[in-house]
Amino acid sequence: MKPRPSSKSPGIAPASRETTALRRWVTVAGVALIVLIIAADSYEAWQDYRRVVLDNEHIQVALSRALTEQTERLVQEVDVVLSDYAAWIVSTDGRSAGEQSMSARLNARIASLPFVSSAALVGADGRLRARTRDERGAERSLQGLDVFAIPAHASDDRVYIDKPQTASDGAQTFALSRRVDSADGTFAGVVLARVAFEYLAGFYAGVNVTPDTSIRLARDDGITLVEFPRSGRDHGISRAGEPQSSGWRPGNRQTDGSHPGDTRSNERINHPVVDGRERIEISQRVEGYPIVVEVSRSRSSVLQPWIQEERSSAARTLTLAVLAAILLIALRAALQRQEHTDQERHRLEQELAAIQRVDALGFLAASVAHDFNNVLTAIVGYAELTREMAEEPALLANVDRLLAATERARLLVRRVLTFDPRRSLVYRPTRIAPIIVEVSQQVRATLPASIDLNLDLLAPDAAILGDATEIHQVVMNLCSNAVHAMPLSGTLQIRLETLDVQEPRALALGRLIPGRWVCVSVIDSGIGLAEDQIGSIFEPFYTTRQPTHGTGIGLTVVRNVILRMNGALDVDSRLGLGTHMAVYWPSTDIAEVAMRQARLESGAGETIMVVDDERELVALTEELLASLSYEPVGFSDARAAIEALRHDPNRFDAVLTDERMQPLGGMEFAKLVREVAPRMPIILMTGHRDAGIDRLANDLGISEILDKPLRVHTLREVLARQLDKESQAHFI
C-alpha cells in the first residue's frame, strides 16, 4: 500500500500555484493568438475574395459596355443603310429602277460595311428583286421565312433580327431586315442584310483580353447570334435550351445604379451554371434594338489568382500558427518543468525541515541519554553490588525490584534514542516469538475486560537480524495504539508468520523485495483511520488522541526502528472497520549463524585501567571489577592515566574508558594509548552510540564498545572475551 496524502501536509507551494496559473494564462493567450492569426487571415481572405470578384465585375462591365456600344454602332450602320435603301425604293416607286440598277445601288451601299456579307431586296411576293453578289437563293421564294414574314406583318418599322443561318459553304450569318412600304403605305417588300459571324468573332477575339472569357451576342429572346469562343451549342436555340420567348429576360441582379459606375437600368449581372461551372455574366441590351451583349467568365477562372495568393497566404498563416503552437508548447513545457521544480523544491524543503526537526530531537535525545545513562550506571552498579552482598530475602526482593525499575528506565532511554538517526546498533540474530510472548503478557496485564487478546504464533522459530529491545518497542507501540483505538470493546490480535515474496511491492513504509520475510501483524477492531490520516501517522508528534492521552511519538519510533532494520510496514485501515498493521523484516535462519557462547568466567587478578571524568563512576566501576576478581586502577583525569601508562606500559592488561570526558575525550585518549601500547585491549563506554563513534572507534582499533548503563554480566563477558584473545596472541 502506498502512503496517502496527509490532511496536514503543507500542500502545493505558492510558487508552484503561481506557475500553474501562469501556465494556464499562457495556454489561453497562446490559443487566442493562434485563433486570432487564423481569423485575421480568414477575414483578409474574405476581403480579397470580394475585391477579386468586384474587380472582375468592373472589368466585365467595362468590356460589355464597350462591346455594346460597338454593336450598337454596327447595327445602326446596317439599319441606316437599310433605311436609306428602303427610302430610295419608295422615292423611285420601285418600278422606274430596274433590277440591275437596284442591285448596283445595294452593292454600292453594302460595300462600305465590311461586316455585312450580303444583302437583298425582297418583293411583296417573296421573290428577290435586287441582291448583292454573295446573296444566294434567287430561285426560291423567301415568303415563308421569318426574315420576310415578320417584317411584312409588323405594324412598326423596327429592324428584325433573324436566327443565324449556315450556308452550304459553312459560312454563318444572321440577317437584319426592315419593312419596305410603298408611297401609299402598303407593304412593298423587305430589305435585308446578312452580318458575317466570322467578322464579329474576329472582332470579339481582338477585344477579349481576359482568360476564360466568352462574348455572346443574342436576341432578346435568348437565341444566340454570335458567340466567341464557340461553345459547341447549336445557334438558334436559347442558352438554357428552353423554348424561345418574346422579349428580353432580365438577369438575377439589376444594377440600377447600384453597380459602381453604372447609370443605366438595362445592365444585368447573372450567375448561371453552365456545364456544371458557375459563371459571372454581365448582360447589356443594345439601346433601341432587340439585341443583348453578354460577357461571361467562369468563377474558377476569376478566383484562380485569388486561390494562388491564398495558398501562399495560408502557408504563411499555417507557418505562423505552427510556430505559435510550438512556442506555446515550449512555454507550457518550460512552465511545467518549472512547476515540477517548484514542487520538488518544496518537497525537499519540507523533507529538510522534517530532517532538521528529527536531528534536533535526536541531538536532544543524545544529550539527555548520555547524562541519564551515567546516573543509571551508578544506580545499576550499586544495586548489583548490593544484591551480591545481600542475604536477607526481603532485601534481595527489594534489590530485584530496583533492578527491574532501572531496566525499564534503560529501555525508556533507548526508546528516546530511537529519534537519533545517527544512532548505531549491533544487530544479532534474534527470535521473534519470545519477544511477542513477552509483549502479549505485558499488554494482557493492562487490558480491560472488554478487550480480547488473541496470539497466533504461526512461525514460532522465525528469526531476524535485529535488536531485541527495538523489536519489543515496535510491537509494544503498535499494540498500545491498537488498544487506544478500542475505547469501549474489541479484539486485539497479534500474529507471527513468514511469507515468500515473488515480486517487489511498495508499502506504506518501505518496500518488499523478492525473498523470505517475517511478518508481525497487529490487528484491532477499533475506530480505524481516514485515508488522509494514514500518510501522517508516522510524523513526529502527530496523534489522533486528546492532548492529554498521548504524545504522538510512538509510531515515529516504529518508523525509525523498522527503517534501520531494513524492514517495511503496511497499513490497511477504514473508518469504523479497524486497522491492520503488518511489519515485515528479512528472515534469518538462526541455525546457520555461528552463535559462540562464551563461558562466563571471573578474572584472575588482571589489572584493568578505568578512566572516567566522574569520580563516582570510577569508584563504582572499580568495585564492579573487584567483585569480578580483577585488579582495577581508576583515574578521573585521562592525562594522568596516559602518564601512568607511559611510565609502566606492562602494568595494565586492558583499558576501560568513557567516551565523553573533559578535558581529554575518550577517542583522543584511545589514540594516545595506541601509541604507547599498540596491542592493549581498549573497551569504550558510552551513553550514546552512533555511526560516527563506531567508525572512529574502528579506525583507532578500539576492541569493543559498551552501552551505559553497565551490567555486571555484560562487563564479565566482554573482559573474558578480550583477555582471552590477548592471552592467545601472547601464546602464539
Question: How remote is the C-alpha of 358 from its chain's centroid?
Answer: 37
pLDDT at residue 259 tops 60: no
- Banded pLDDT at 140 (limits 50, 70, 90): low
> In whole angstroms, how large is the CA radius of gyration of the chain?
61
Tally of residues, the chain: 732
Phi and psi at residue 9, in whole multiples of 5°?
Answer: -70, 150
Q: For residues 429 and 561, state if they share a domain.
A: yes
Q: What is the pLDDT of residues 416-428, one digit of tens each?
A: 665 555 555 667 7
- Banded pLDDT at 545 (limits 50, 70, 90): very low
Q: What is the mean pLDDT of the chain?
A: 77
Percent pLDDT > 90 in the chain is 3
**Under a CB-based contact definition with an 8 Å cutoff, are residues 20 and 274 in contact?**
no
Domain annotation covers residue 215: yes
Q: For residues 588 and 628, state if they share a domain.
A: no
Rounded Cα distance, 18 and 504, in Å: 38
Residue 19: per-residue pLDDT: 76
- What does the block give as the cell for 608? 584493568
Neighbours of 355 (CB within 10 A): 13
Residue 497: per-residue pLDDT: 92
- Banded pLDDT at 203 (limits 50, 70, 90): confident
pLDDT at residue 363 tops 70: no
Residue 424: per-residue pLDDT: 55
Domain annotation covers residue 9: no
Q: For residues 580 and 465, state if they share a domain.
A: yes
Q: For residues 630 and 578, state if they share a domain.
A: no
Q: For residues 611 and 687, state if they share a domain.
A: yes
Q: What is the pLDDT of residues 701-714, one digit of tens each?
A: 888 888 777 777 77
Q: Are strands 578-586 and 515-524 parallel, antiparallel or unpaired?
A: antiparallel
Residue 520: per-residue pLDDT: 93
Edge to edge, the sheet with strand 160-166 lists 128-131, 116-123, 187-196, 172-181, 160-166
pLDDT at residue 634 tops 70: yes
Phi and psi at residue 642, in whole multiples of 5°?
Answer: -70, -30
Q: How many domains does the chain have?
A: 3
Q: Greater confidence, 452 or 15?
A: 452
- Mean per-residue pLDDT for 3-21? 57
**Under a CB-based contact definition with an 8 Å cutoff, are residues 660 and 686 in contact?**
yes
Residue that finishes a domain, picked among 273, 300, 327: 300
Rounded Cα distance, 644 and 610, in Å: 12
**Does the bond joining 663 to the residue before it have cis omega, within 30 degrees of 0?**
yes
Domain annotation covers residue 446: yes
Q: What is the pLDDT of residues 476-485, one digit of tens each?
A: 888 888 888 8
Helix (H) or strand (E) holding 56: helix 14-92
Rounded Cα distance, 31 and 16, in Å: 22
The pTM score is 0.45
Domain annotation covers residue 676: yes
Rounded Cα distance, 596 and 62, in Å: 120
CA-based nearest residue to 251, from 265, 269, 232, 275: 269
Residue 495: per-residue pLDDT: 93
Q: For residues 568 and 689, state if they share a domain.
A: no
Residue 707: per-residue pLDDT: 78
Q: What is the CATH number of the domain that holds 156?
A: 3.30.450.20
Q: Greater confidence, 380 or 476?
A: 476
Residue 366: per-residue pLDDT: 66
Residue 596: per-residue pLDDT: 42
Percent pLDDT > 70 in the chain is 78
Residue that finishes a domain, picked among 537, 558, 592: 592
- Mean per-residue pLDDT for 103-107? 82
Residue 519 burial class via C-beta count within 10 angstroms: exposed 0-12, middle 13-18, buried 19 and up = buried
- What does the block give as the cell for 378? 551508578
Amino acid, res. 571: V
**Under a CB-based contact definition with an 8 Å cutoff, are residues 705 and 697 in contact?**
yes
Q: What is the pLDDT of residues 405-451, one digit of tens each?
A: 766 676 666 656 655 555 556 677 888 888 888 888 888 878 888 88
- What does the block give as the cell for 163? 436566327
pLDDT at residue 46 tops 70: yes
Lowest mean pLDDT among 21-25, 61-65, 327-331, 588-592: 588-592
Q: For residues 230 and 82, state if they share a domain.
A: yes
Q: What is the CATH number of the domain that holds 452?
A: 3.30.565.10
Q: For residues 489 and 567, state if they share a domain.
A: yes
Domain annotation covers residue 429: yes
Domain annotation covers residue 430: yes
Q: What is the CATH number of the domain that holds 622?
A: 3.40.50.2300
Domain annotation covers residue 464: yes
Give me the helix-helix angle, 691-700 and 666-676, nearest 10°. Answer: 10
Rounded Cα distance, 227 and 225, in Å: 7
- Banded pLDDT at 234 (limits 50, 70, 90): very low
Domain annotation covers residue 16: no
Residue that finishes a domain, picked among 239, 266, 300: 300
Residue 590: per-residue pLDDT: 67
Q: For residues 98 and 239, state if they share a domain.
A: yes
- Mean per-residue pLDDT for 546-563? 62
Q: For residues 654 and 551, state if they share a domain.
A: no
Residue 494: per-residue pLDDT: 92
Identity of the highest mean pLDDT range in 204-218, 306-320, 356-370: 306-320
The DSSP symbol for 4 reads P
Q: For residues 156 and 270, state if they share a domain.
A: yes
Residue 202: per-residue pLDDT: 80
Residue 420: per-residue pLDDT: 56
Residue 301 burial class via C-beta count within 10 angstroms: exposed 0-12, middle 13-18, buried 19 and up = middle
Residue 518: per-residue pLDDT: 93
pLDDT at residue 385 tops 60: yes
Determine the Cα angle at 390 with ends 385 and 396, to 5°: 100
Q: For residues 530 and 645, state if they share a domain.
A: no
**In the structure, how many helices (H) and strands (E) does the chain have?**
15, 26
Rounded Cα distance, 577 and 640, in Å: 67
* Residue indicated by cell numbers 559498551: 706
Q: What is the pLDDT of residues 184-202, one digit of tens each?
A: 778 888 888 888 888 887 8
Q: Which domain holds residue 554?
A: 425-592
**Under a CB-based contact definition with an 8 Å cutoff, are residues 327 and 30 in contact?**
yes
Q: Are strands 291-298 and 578-586 parallel, antiparallel or unpaired?
A: unpaired
Rounded Cα distance, 686 and 419, in Å: 17
pLDDT at residue 243 tops 50: no
CA-based nearest residue to 283, from 301, 262, 304, 305: 262
Question: How remote is the C-alpha of 460 from its chain's centroid?
Answer: 53
